[in-house]
Chains A and B, each alone.
Chain A
Amino acid sequence: MNETAIKFTNFHYGYINSDIILHNINLDVRKGSFTIISGPSGAGKTTLCKAMAGIIPYYYGGRYAGDVEVLGVTTKGKRVSDLAMRIGLMLDDYESQLVSLTAGEEIAFSLLNHGFAAEEVEARTKQVLMDVGLPGRENYQLDELSGGQRQRLLLASVLAVHPEVLVLDEPVSAMDPDGANALYKLLYKIYKEYNMTVVVVEHNINFLLPYVTDMIVMNKGRVAAQGFFEEAAAMTYAIPELRRNLPELWQVKLNLEQRFGISLRAWRKEAEALEELKEKFVGGALG
């Protein structure tokens, strides 16, 4: 559990003809963790994701220094497609990432590219569609799938190559709250089932609060906080301009802890918060 899946060491990066976007990034993503990357817009979260998948600097070029290691291997000089066998990346614009006409072809696409045999492709396609809740949809045209189903299809196509690390960049940015909750619930199920390392860029931490183990908070191209969720949340709360990025529940918790000098449990659901608050404040020691 203490092994590192992704490691940034003194990493700096700037796109061609742009200012430096990432400044001196030093961070570790633990193997087997469910990590959220949060922070205000323009903080460098997407660039960080692209660096994890080796897209930066391989695809975009630009200026960089330092090193990024994925599962102990440096991304320097590696082709994106080679790294994709071990680290899967889902970008935010899911519509444009679907390249085939049917669900089965979409999943088979990356498997065939990576040289899997036709029988293996068929078996994996069937399995992965079941995993994402789209069983038997191999021959469905993309037009026949709803937005949420397409999103899950893209997830399936990334999962099909069995990556050890899965990185998702704002996967629910175009979804309603119910769809977002359903996708994250599914993601958590897959994370548990396959014992993967999952990294999600998400503005709204509320969606991921029940599942997340670790957190990285970015601000102006630098890492503002990182570590286990509880520790990183406390660090973030200490920076006034980043407080509002925390889930409301944790803003309340950390505020109460600061004001009354008490220690509250790590709330993951409203019900847990309500129970403890009733216990401590209504007729309790602080009531």
Chain B
Amino acid sequence: MKITAFTQLITVLAVTTWVFLLPVPAVAIILVLELALLLYIKHDRLTMAAIGALTVFTGMMILLQLIFGSPLSVSLTGGLRMFVMTTAFLCLLAATKIQDIAQALVEKFHLPCEYAFMLTTALRFVPDFLTDSATTLDAQSCRGYSNRGNVFKRFYSYLAVVKPLVMRAVAKSDTLALSMELKGFGANTYQNMTPQRLCFADYLVLFLVMLLSLYPLWSKYI
């Protein structure tokens, strides 16, 4: 059963609403379902690392809330909500090609194609940026860059890494813009793709999403 990117986006948006609408036990069940789904779709090292990092981040969020005086139950609920919302996006990214998500955003949500393209480009250039960052750090270390000293000193010396990195990113963005021009980027990009038609599975999922979203209404009257 394969559902379209449009339905998946709607589901993710709905999940982010449900975490505030549904009772905490129901949100916890959604989390379990999300994790099972995520591990079913993808269970490589990267996915495990993402879940691990998210867990640590959630732990820190809960800890911060406790430090600032929130009761334990509120902190835990906040952490759970954040975890569920983020895992929903992880599921979306694991299940769908980013190009399909961009297409759905342009076709169904009428997002300008430039913004949709930004989404795919940002993901495309993250590994390149990390590589450039490591290379620049190595190069500047050879020239005497050191990250020792107090926070201000370290921040100031880190400018020696940031400056060339920014210059390189600007140069790359110029080449990218030129490349897009050469490849005729414009409104046609997403319009000419094979349309994503909704099938029975999509309608079923959308119906369930609607049903759960109306929980406050039917829990009150039924």
A residues with a Cβ closer than 8 A to B are 53, 55, 59, 80-81, 84, 88-89, 91, 93, 95-102, 105, 109-110, 112-118, 121, 142-143, 157
Decide if A109 touches B181 in the complex (CB within 8 Å): no
**B25 interfacial by beta-carbon distance below 8 Å:** no
> Which of A98, A100, A118, A142 is close to B193, meaning CB atoms less than 8 Å apart?
A118
**B147 interfacial by beta-carbon distance below 8 Å:** no
Chain B residues with CB under 8 A of A53: 182
Interface string of B183-206 (1 = CB under 8 A from A): 111101110111000000000000
With contact pairs A102-B97, A143-B127 given, residues A80 and B192 touching in the complex (Cβ less than 8 Å): no
29 examples of A-B residue contacts, CB within 8 angstroms: A59-B181, A80-B182, A81-B181, A81-B182, A81-B184, A81-B185, A89-B182, A91-B175, A95-B128, A96-B173, A97-B179, A98-B124, A99-B117, A99-B120, A99-B176, A100-B124, A101-B120, A101-B123, A101-B124, A102-B97, A105-B97, A110-B182, A112-B188, A112-B190, A113-B184, A115-B188, A115-B192, A117-B192, A142-B124
Chain A residues with CB under 8 A of B192: 112-113, 115-118, 121
Chain A residues with CB under 8 A of B173: 96
Chain B residues with CB under 8 A of A96: 171-173, 175-176, 179
The size of the chain B interface, using a CB distance under 8 A, is: 30
Chain A residues with CB under 8 A of B171: 93, 96
Chain B residues with CB under 8 A of A117: 192
Decide if A91 touches B181 in the complex (CB within 8 Å): no
Chain B residues with CB under 8 A of A110: 182-184
Chain A residues with CB under 8 A of B117: 99
Q: How far is the CA of A143 from the CA of B172 in the complex (A)?
A: 18
B residues 147-179 near A (Cβ < 8 Å) are 171-173, 175-176, 178-179
Decide if B179 touches A91 in the complex (CB within 8 Å): yes
Decide if A100 touches B120 in the complex (CB within 8 Å): yes
**B56 interfacial by beta-carbon distance below 8 Å:** no
Chain A residues with CB under 8 A of B188: 112-115
**B141 interfacial by beta-carbon distance below 8 Å:** no
Chain B residues with CB under 8 A of A113: 183-186, 188-189, 192
Decide if A99 touches B121 in the complex (CB within 8 Å): yes
